[in-house]
Structure 1
Amino acid sequence: MLTILYTNELAPGPCWHLTAGRKHLLSKGDSIIMPANIPHALKAVERYKMVLTMIKEPK
């Protein structure tokens, strides 16, 4: 299963995304793809909206 995280164009404030001990600053239109079941965290710098999409592998 994959998890896809990307920012929403309507409220493009930046957001820090921490995954596997690495920090990424996501801005308008940026996206990040990561495997499922990895601890992660978000911290908005300003007003922020995002969409989280989880895709499951077929059985």
Structure 2
Amino acid sequence: MDVFCTWYGPTQKAFQSLDDTKQKVLAADMLALANRFNGADDGTLVAQGAYLQIFVERR
């Protein structure tokens, strides 16, 4: 959580816009979300990532 709040701009801005109580709520919600999708059971975070790759060919 510290890395996101310190180095990831959108998360950093979100936390900066909240008071201390709401920051704690947001942090708890983000941790719950990460834990929900965590595929690891050894204390680390392993989360699946999905992306769409599109190739366009001009004729």
Same fold (TM over 0.5): no
Name the larger-Rg structure.
Answer: 2
- Which TM-score band applies after superposition, normalised by the shorter structure? under 0.3
TM-score (norm 1): 0.23
| Structure ranking higher in strand proportion | 1
| Structure ranking higher in helix proportion | 2
TM-score (norm 2): 0.23
Query: Greater relative contact order (Cα 8 A, min sep 6): structure 1 or 2?
Result: 1
